[in-house]
Structure 1
Amino acid sequence: MCTAIYEWVKGLDSGGVGNLISTFAALVAIAGLIYQSYATRKQVKLQNFIEYTNRYQEIILNFPENINEQSFSFDALSPEIKNKTMRYMRAYFDLCFEEFTLHEKKFIDNDLWSIWKGGMEVAFSKSAFKQAWASIKNDTKFGSGFEAYVENQTTSR
């Protein structure tokens, strides 16, 4: 096999060798571009994940310590803490809506969506998030798909 290729190359004139080298160089360049595109997409995905994780952390850190308790009640909070908590609840539902929309538009893969969806489902099963949604849904519109998703999660548990 190698001998046949050697004989074929040996029989090429200088123009043929130049074309062969140019073709090889073009294939190497195309392979490099494909790899660079893959690496860039992977980097962008990571940056987006970090951005959403940071936003999530900022929201969660501003909730009261007892937010996850089933006995949580907004009525037990001072007006100042209640308002602050509701602002962050709105930010949380906005974040969830963005994540839901990114998945619906196929901008994120199913693996990432599975992580985010699991977190949402746990949060939406908690009393504080159910109470917040009952208020937020009355004055904020997220679109029927997301609203139905949240309704299903907050009423099914």
Structure 2
Amino acid sequence: MESLLDALGIHGWQDGAAVATILGIMVGLLGLFLAGWQLTAQAKLARSEFEDSFSREYRQVVAQIPTKVFLGATLSPQERLAAFRFIYQYIDLCNEQKYLHERRRIGDKTWAEWEDGIMSNLARPELSAAWSYVAHHAVRQKENGEVEKEFESLRRVVEPRVYDGNTAYLPPPVNISDLYTSYVSATPSLTGVAWQVST
């Protein structure tokens, strides 16, 4: 009866060494495959956790915006002033999400869901007016004299409607280069201003 080694055609130590080398290579390749699979799994988990952090931030920001905004209502001038910093944060968050998707940090499936929500929300009257206001004022002058529009990523998702200064959403920001800090808190000089609420 032929031995297993003879059946495999291994007749000496040199053939055995060759088999051991082949087995070593196979084990090494298997190890590389498993390491690659583990890295891929870890990358997916890291991306998922990263995306989840944006979902948490979204919930925190929109919790500060009056619910009626998401139901299609507009805010009174006083409500608008009080809510503007959160609306601005929402617009900024949307821009950041699009920017990160463009850099492949946000997955396509997640982005498709977020994009749908962004488009839906920014079509609502109050948020549409706020986006128009922010987009109009969020420009800066470069040293070479060119004007640069900020929120470029979000502009590629939802083009803001043309801003109508005659029906001002809010008074122009105190510091046009920094909209957010202009309305972080309601200042007495702004609370007495009469606005026409744009819809």
Partner residue, 1:134? 132
> Aligned runs of 1:7-156 on 2, under 5 Å?
7-8=8-9, 10-11=10-11, 13-75=15-77, 77=79, 82-140=80-138, 141-151=149-159
Which structure: larger Rg?
Answer: 2
**Aligned mates of 2:76, 2:156 — CA distance in 1:** 24
CA RMSD of aligned residues (A): 2.6
Structure 1 alignment gaps of length 5 or more: none
Q: 1:145 to 1:35 in 2, by over 3 A?
A: closer
Do the aligned partners of 2:61 and 2:89 also contact (CA within 8 Å) in 1?
A: yes
Q: What is the Cα deviation at residue 135 of structure 1? A: 1.9
Compare the two structures and name the one with the higher helix fraction: 1
Q: What is the Cα deviation at residue 110 of structure 1? A: 2.2
Structure 2 alignment gaps of length 5 or more: 139-148, 163-199
Q: What is the Cα deviation at residue 83 of structure 1? A: 3.5
Q: Deviations over 1:45-76 (max 9, x none)?
A: 21012101001000111111322233312425
Other structure's SS at 1:92 match: helix
Q: Equivalent pairs: percent with the same residue? A: 18
Aligned residue type for 1:63 = I
**Aligned mates of 1:123, 1:57 — CA distance in 2:** 14
**Aligned mates of 1:32, 1:150 — CA distance in 2:** 43
Do the aligned partners of 1:96 and 1:120 also contact (CA within 8 Å) in 2?
A: yes
Runs of 4 or more, structure 1, over 4 Å off, are none
For normalisation by structure 1, the TM-score amounts to 0.79
Aligned residue type for 2:159 = E
**Aligned mates of 1:65, 1:144 — CA distance in 2:** 27
**Count of residues in Structure 1 that have an aligned counterpart in Structure 2:** 147
